[in-house]
Amino acid sequence: MDIREFVEANAAEFAAALQEWLAIPSVSADPARHGDVRRSAEWLAAYLGKTGFPVADVWETAGLPAVYAHWPADGEDAPHVLVYGHHDVQPAELADGWDYEPFEPAERDGKIYGRGASDDKGQVLFHALGVRACLAASGATAPPVSITMLIEGEEESGSPNFAGLLTDRRDRLRPDVIVVSDTTMWAADVPSICTGTRGLVDAEITLTGPSHDLHSGSFGGGVPNPLHALAALLAGLHDADGRVTLPGFYDDVIPLSDAERDLLARLPFGEREWLTGAGDSGATYGEAGYTTLERIWARPTAEVNGVWGGHTGPGPKTIIPGQAHAKVSFRLVAAQEPAAVITSLREYIKTFTPNGLVATVTAGHGVRPCRSPIDSPAVAATRRAMERAFGREVLFTREGGSGPEADLAGILGAPLAFLAVGLDADRIHAPNEYVDLSRLLRGAEAAAYLWGELAAGAGTDPW
Ligand code: BES
Ligand code: MN
Ligand code: MN
């Protein structure tokens, strides 16, 4: 039986197992569901054990548990691949607008519905089917590469303990390649590979002036107004070309190569359709000299998320407010560091806050951006595997969203390759999340081919 035949022959069993797992509401953000996150980890470890992984354990962290499974190759020299995904899911309630109970999964017209179907349980589980298909097709008892699955339980909560887990277990993990299955393709009929995710960091800015709100007749014009100063600071974050003005903001940005720009330009992008999906925005906008896809995937941004202060109730109230507040966030691209951006923001605010006002800035930890170069051998192998599974040319995308990929690559010291079959249309994080069973089966197939491709490239490819 070849890989595709095995995958198709076991599709029903796979779909049933996925639905059993989706019924466990592993919402990491909800303390009342933390017992379910643990049950989800136990379910997955047991299932991977049944699949044939000689080691399949629940790994404790300082927070919610991860799952570690390992299946060594026969040969000593075979490359070691680590597969990353997550078993926790976003919150979901029927009342949010679901047409079905989010944790009562069901298959309808070839689609599997339920919270986590696409993000990320479906994409984790296709690996269990893929490795079995790989073995069935070769007749071997061990895969051609050593496979580790590391599936965390806190991704949807910002992976607060994942870097610590990687650091503690670094010597045990030691992969040559990291395969991430937690992103999307361009379209069901345009398979593609993600080659980078943006990072993120947020901050709250407060400007304080008079110790209480002042009468604007008695004092207006005589003291600085915190809201005026804040408006100027926020407006000054961008220049006339839509570039961010923070000192050194672009210093660490790795520019897009001409080859990457050519590949992104080949994606069938329809501006009107895209604007419809962007809440019927009236026009595109952004940094001069870049296309929309380049702007949202490969360029960093500064966004003002909210501004408040002073009088916002009914009718006029003629005051100079004591304080002004704003929340801002930055999407980052490789190799920007969240902490460096915050340092620069503090410097900018300090420089441009008028005399007589006091500025405070509090910032989050942020998520680092990541990038996997299109000319890396691991990405080339993934592309060949995807092309075999989908029978089409595979293009390249990037992702505007974020995850712990930079920590994986940085702490474990291995290159990233994204093997994923999600779609923006899967309604991840939204009501009625679903995934096409046929897409997950292509994912299983691609994974099975990838193990062969990586084994064949070993020795010749420096990862
Ligand atoms: N799988 C997503 C990331 C993603 C989003 C990939 C959209 C492809 C398309 C991941 O589970 C996620 O939701 N990440 C969050 C990170 C946050 C919770 C720290 C994000 O991007 O907002
Ligand atoms: Mn995810
Ligand atoms: Mn998610």
**DSSP code, position 156:** G
pLDDT of residue 401: 82
How remote is the CA of residue 273 from the centroid of ligand 1, in Å?
23
Number of domains in the chain: 2
How remote is the CA of residue 182 from the centroid of ligand 2, in Å?
5
Residues 11, 99 within the same domain: yes
Ligand 1 atom with least separation from CA of 159: 19
Residues 138, 37 within the same domain: yes
pLDDT of residue 463: 60
User: For atom 5 of ligand 1, which residue has the closest CA?
Assistant: 401
Q: Is residue 349 part of a domain?
A: yes
Residues 50, 171 within the same domain: yes
User: For atom 10 of ligand 1, which residue has the closest CA?
Assistant: 403
Q: Is the pLDDT of residue 301 over 90?
A: yes
305, 234 contact by CB (below 8 A): no
pLDDT digits (tens, 9 = 90+) for 77-86: 999 999 999 9
Q: Is the pLDDT of residue 66 over 60?
A: yes
Ligand 1 atom with least separation from CA of 401: 21
Residue 407 is part of a domain; what is its CATH number? 3.40.630.10
Q: Which ligand is nearest to the CA of 404?
A: 1
How remote is the CA of residue 328 from the centroid of ligand 2, in Å?
24
* Backbone φ, ψ for residue 192 (5° rounding): -155, 165
What does the alpha-carbon distance between residue 231 and residue 321 come to, in Å, rounded to a whole number?
Answer: 13
Domain containing residue 175: 3-197+370-457
Instruction: Verify cis geometry, omega within 30 degrees of 0, for the bond prior to 41.
Output: no
Count of other CB atoms within 10 angstroms of residue 212: 10
Q: Is residue 15 part of a domain?
A: yes
Residues 130, 153 within the same domain: yes
Residues 73, 191 within the same domain: yes
Residues 344, 436 within the same domain: no
* Backbone φ, ψ for residue 314 (5° rounding): -65, 150
Contacts of 448 (CB under 8 A, 6+ apart): 3, 7, 130, 131, 133, 134, 137
Q: Would you call 398 helix, strand, or coil by DSSP? A: strand
Query: 6 or 403: whose pLDDT is higher?
Result: 6
From the list 203, 87, 179, 219, the residue with the least C-alpha distance to 381 is: 179
State pTM to two decimals. Answer: 0.92
How remote is the CA of residue 377 from the centroid of ligand 1, in Å?
26
4, 130 contact by CB (below 8 A): no
Residues 148, 232 within the same domain: no
Domain boundary (316, 335, 363) is at 363
What does the alpha-carbon distance between residue 313 and residue 177 come to, in Å, rounded to a whole number?
Answer: 57
Residues 308, 388 within the same domain: no
Q: Which ligand is nearest to the CA of 426?
A: 1
pLDDT digits (tens, 9 = 90+) for 49-59: 999 999 999 99
Residues 29, 9 within the same domain: yes
Q: Is residue 36 part of a domain?
A: yes
What does the alpha-carbon distance between residue 460 and residue 251 come to, in Å, rounded to a whole number?
Answer: 35
Contacts of 114 (CB under 8 A, 6+ apart): 19, 22, 23, 100, 102, 103, 104, 105, 106, 433, 434
Q: Is residue 463 part of a domain?
A: no
Lining ligand 1 with CB less than 6 A are 119-120, 155-156, 158, 182-184, 367, 399, 401-403
Q: Is residue 132 part of a domain?
A: yes
Residues 113, 225 within the same domain: no
Q: Is residue 265 part of a domain?
A: no
Residue 221 is part of a domain; what is its CATH number? 3.30.70.360
pLDDT of residue 109: 98
pLDDT of residue 76: 84
Q: Is the pLDDT of residue 143 over 60?
A: yes
Percent of the chain whose pLDDT exceeds 90: 96
402, 367 contact by CB (below 8 A): yes
| Helix axis angle, 34-51 to 11-22, nearest 10° | 160
Residues 346, 379 within the same domain: no
Domain boundary (363, 386, 408) is at 363
* Backbone φ, ψ for residue 281 (5° rounding): -60, 145
